[in-house]
Amino acid sequence: MNLRDRLQVALKDAMRAKEAERLSTLRLINAAIKDRDIAVRGEGNDGLVSDADITAILSKMVKQRQESARVYEEGGRLELAEKELDEIKVVEEFLPRQLTGGEVDAAIAAAIAESGARSIRDMGKVMGVLKGKYTGQMDFGAVGPRVKDMLG
């Protein structure tokens, strides 16, 4: 079952179970996907984004909510921060499992070998390989410095 279908099933289940918070988050996810579908359709494609695109949308949603939760916590708005963290849990259900530190290092080493990277100048090639294979499974903001260390 593809990601889009899994989201639809979860949405229907949340409606049946009357889980208002979960339903709200799932609707936000569907709205973001539909927005992207419309944007893609405007570019002349078939109008449906791939699972990889949906994974990227979900990853972006998690990052946005993490930042919002941090801001709310700093501002003393703990109830709003808690709501953001609850939304993150729902979104993460549809993301692939995050790689551990050792798995990330192994993936970086494999990407360096695959791309033939020799120096920092080849970092873009390595990141391209990683993004192609591990979208949604690692935080590329944190991976960049690790790639730089391994190449430097």
DSSP state of 49: -
Distance CA 64, CA 43 (A): 26
Is pLDDT of 104 > 80?
yes
CATH code linked to domain 101-151:
1.10.10.410
Q: What is the pLDDT of residues 41-98, one digit of tens each?
A: 877 767 788 888 898 899 899 999 999 999 999 999 999 999 999 999 999 999 888 8
| pLDDT at position 100 over 90 | no
Domain covering 3-92 in this structure, CATH number: 1.10.1510.10
Could you read off the pLDDT of 18-31 as tens digits, one per residue? 999 999 999 999 99
| Domain limits, the chain | 3-92, 101-151
- Assess whether the region 3-92 and the region 101-151 belong to the same CATH fold: no
- Give the whole-number percent of the chain exceeding pLDDT 90: 52
pLDDT tier, 35 (very low <50, low <70, confident <90, very high otherwise):
very high
Give the pLDDT score at 34.
92
Distance CA 7, CA 24 (A): 13
According to DSSP H, which parts of 43-122 are helical?
A: 51-74, 78-92, 101-115
What phi, psi does 4 have (nearest 5°)? -60, -45
